[in-house]
Structure 1
């Protein structure tokens, strides 16, 4: 590790070994050294500080005896951390901490990928293959060709959308893609969004100067008949509405694209959980029905991991050209995640992963639904993706359930904050079952079952 300054005063009467031990202690208390940091060997530290190895060995022996550091056979010497009872200096936080459960809490909040489904060997192969490619000397504004080809193949095989790699644009994820599209709209553009819906997208639209107009959602998805007039765009999640979990019905899909063509607005199709249906085949993409008025968005964050930080847009030619022109002076999607995804898809690992992921999530959903229904509570949402909704009667019941779960070290999301401010909100909890490992999920479902039974 890179060492922080460890000042030694050779003119002092204090022995150098004592000074060095004091400096390491001070760094641990200040947080410069953290629990688990590996320290240099006594020989390497002596060479760095320009002292004899006797000095560093004596300092380490003292710190070992006091419990500041520990030696691990064959591994080295590691910082244990500030011993119990030693006060650490307070640090002012740049931002207030989020109001969440303790670090030990099991998260049932939606939006997490399922790590259990990911084959570690395939994941390592993809990273090694990506690392074997020499660094690029130039940047393709559209994204790496290998990545765009992998996305085009995935869209064909898993979503039935026929596109060429040249029709795909790499992005930094769904929210970033919405921000790019919003920048092309006129200032003050009127954009309809689902209510309840994806809060980060609404924030991105407002940041671009758009006027966000909430539209209600029911068990058939977005209520197309409730769309206001004079729109510039409509954002929706037709494959698995976030967060209520419905899919946009066939009749509403047709109505939406007919209105888009007649009224001249753009449909932004976020294919949330589109690959993750395990009850019936998904309905055709809006982009397949109306490629002239639909911008299709996808991401790798739910099927693999947000670590890659990549997604894609398939948009009408004029919008694609405008996006590329804007990228010449703006942010570009990073290439590292694109390389890993392309490598992961190259030899069938992605297809095998998606099959395994659908099977595991199907099992987890069945277990989650069974636990909830034993309490007499209904479950809302199609058999898809990684979450369901448990409707509750009112705001008070919602708050009590969320608080009672937190007291049992389980973090869950309330439904009402997904609604736009000032609108009549539905109440409940959004239960994500993809993120925890199997044992944690079962513990969390036990707590959920108990709380719902106790709180009615």
Structure 2
């Protein structure tokens, strides 16, 4: 009852000065005891929304209407001002936005088994205020796992567990201060926006078929560079051996740092994964990773392994930020890694994602033969390059009219360049991806579109 009355006040159906019914009368109308109404009125009075006035009974005294509407409106405006969409557009039934993993593949049974094992032996000390860098067991398991799979060189104390790569970037930004940072162009729009928010200034550095142009990076005069060297986002190219050597030579100068975002290291299909940069120069590379693409973004578990000279400042920033990540998810993830369940889950997911990639790729080759598709050997997305320049936002709008959501390549670049669509394939079954390719072909091929104007997208 209190909730209903509160809602009426907040939404303006009850205005300041309106009198509420007498408790006995309202109890009779609602068929409840008078005590229930008295308790509801008292709760509203405690919240400052109502009060008793001599001769008038209980009246509305709070200002919930203006506050409630303003808060909701501000939030909607804030979301609308973000540069990338947070939700799927109306009429979309095939969302191919990049960065969305297969959430249906989350290993619920293995997670529950690991959680029970953890709860059977967790101690009070495990649940207290611990090291802001993370639980010792997860950090130890991670350095072993990353050494085996990514060639990382680190000890457990070098790891800072954080709320995904996003928080890792925020911690680095705090330590680096308001500096310019060289970023890949095209590159991750989300990472650019993150850095800009925290006071760093992204400076675009061109990317070609060998990855970031290190000569162009050197020409910018920056001391920090952010890269995705193992699988560049969004082009999918791998930083070539020559560029890797050039980058590490550039980073050897005093005060320089390479930030390595290893965002989808677990998803490799047609080639062995290239080792992480960090293993070649742990004193010059800050390494970022997370479980967002391997388990789920909502877990908000990631890791930052930075040069030791930065460790004290990063731990202080992490402690001031949140005192450390929740302990139980860390312990459960450590159990999954130690038991082998994490690796078994990744093998299953890799096989599923390869089938999905193959279905989308085959469909694009059939229905969009004029396109060049890159980034197919790894990751959870493809880049479809199309003839022309400067029109890919319009192309994405044409595709969305057929029920398929994509990212225009221009969203992720600072300089003019070729038209392209970035298509994520992780969240849909092969038959749905084949259907998405068919619709994209209908949207972008004038002959097919003219033959199918009256045909609505299938559900």
What is the TM-score with the length of structure 1 in the denominator?
Answer: 0.77
Structure 1 stretches of 5 or more lacking a match?
A: 21-44, 52-88
Asked if structure 2 preserves the Cα contact closer than 8 Å seen for 1:145 and 1:165, the reply is yes
Correspondence 1:387 to 2:381: yes
Correspondence 1:435 to 2:427: yes
Aligned-residue Cα RMSD (Å) equals 3.0
Structure 2 stretches of 5 or more lacking a match?
A: 7-19, 39-68, 449-459
Q: What is the DSSP-based 3-state SS (H/G/I as helix, E as strand, rest coil) of the residue aligned with 2:418?
A: coil
Q: What is the DSSP-based 3-state SS (H/G/I as helix, E as strand, rest coil) of the residue aligned with 2:268?
A: coil
Q: What corresponds to 1:221 in structure 2?
A: 211
Q: What is the DSSP-based 3-state SS (H/G/I as helix, E as strand, rest coil) of the residue aligned with 2:128?
A: coil
CA deviation after TM superposition for structure 1 residue 207, in Å: 3.1
Match of 1:197 among 156, 169, 187: 187
Hey, what's the Cα distance between the residues in 1 that align with 2:261 and 2:98? 16
CA distances 1:134-172 after superposition (whole Å, capped 9, x unpaired): 572222111011221221122022212243222211111
Matches within 5 A, 1:189-268: 189-227=179-217, 228-262=219-253, 264-268=255-259
Matches within 5 A, 1:289-328: 289-328=280-319
Q: Which moved more, 1:105-114 or 1:228-237?
A: 228-237
Hey, what's the Cα distance between the residues in 2 that align with 1:280 and 1:286? 17
Hey, what's the Cα distance between the residues in 1 that align with 2:173 and 2:409? 26
Change beyond 3 A, Cα 1:450–1:154: farther
Q: What is the DSSP-based 3-state SS (H/G/I as helix, E as strand, rest coil) of the residue aligned with 1:319?
A: helix
Q: What corresponds to 1:59 in structure 2?
A: none
Hey, what's the Cα distance between the residues in 1 that align with 2:174 and 2:133? 17
Asked if structure 2 preserves the Cα contact closer than 8 Å seen for 1:401 and 1:455, the reply is no
CA deviation after TM superposition for structure 1 residue 294, in Å: 0.7
Q: What corresponds to 1:124 in structure 2?
A: 112
Matches within 5 A, 1:22-101: 49=36, 92=73, 94-96=75-77, 98=80, 100-101=88-89
Hey, what's the Cα distance between the residues in 2 that align with 1:353 and 1:144? 23
Correspondence 1:358 to 2:371: no
Correspondence 1:405 to 2:399: yes
Correspondence 1:417 to 2:411: yes
Q: What corresponds to 2:363 in structure 1?
A: 371
Matches within 5 A, 1:134-213: 136-187=127-178, 189-213=179-203
CA deviation after TM superposition for structure 1 residue 194, in Å: 0.5
> Paired residues, what number?
390
Q: What corresponds to 2:15 in structure 1?
A: none
Asked if structure 2 preserves the Cα contact closer than 8 Å seen for 1:247 and 1:382, the reply is no
Correspondence 1:11 to 2:5: no
Asked if structure 2 preserves the Cα contact closer than 8 Å seen for 1:309 and 1:337, the reply is no
Correspondence 1:105 to 2:93: yes
CA deviation after TM superposition for structure 1 residue 437, in Å: 4.3
Asked if structure 1 preserves the Cα contact closer than 8 Å seen for 2:182 and 2:220, the reply is no
CA distances 1:387-424 after superposition (whole Å, capped 9, x unpaired): 0011123456523432233222221111101112xx22
Change beyond 3 A, Cα 1:9–1:294: same
Q: What corresponds to 2:14 in structure 1?
A: none
Q: What corresponds to 2:452 in structure 1?
A: none
CA distances 1:352-393 after superposition (whole Å, capped 9, x unpaired): 011112211111111111111112122011410100011123
Q: What is the DSSP-based 3-state SS (H/G/I as helix, E as strand, rest coil) of the residue aligned with 2:362?
A: helix
Asked if structure 1 preserves the Cα contact closer than 8 Å seen for 2:375 and 2:382, the reply is yes
Change beyond 3 A, Cα 1:395–1:124: farther
Hey, what's the Cα distance between the residues in 1 that align with 2:228 and 2:413? 15
Change beyond 3 A, Cα 1:396–1:138: closer
Asked if structure 2 preserves the Cα contact closer than 8 Å seen for 1:270 and 1:297, the reply is yes
CA deviation after TM superposition for structure 1 residue 445, in Å: 3.2
Correspondence 1:275 to 2:261: no
Hey, what's the Cα distance between the residues in 2 that align with 1:117 and 1:298? 20
Change beyond 3 A, Cα 1:368–1:338: same
Hey, what's the Cα distance between the residues in 2 that align with 1:264 and 1:137? 37
Asked if structure 2 preserves the Cα contact closer than 8 Å seen for 1:388 and 1:430, the reply is yes
Hey, what's the Cα distance between the residues in 2 that align with 1:154 and 1:239? 17
Hey, what's the Cα distance between the residues in 2 that align with 1:445 and 1:301? 26
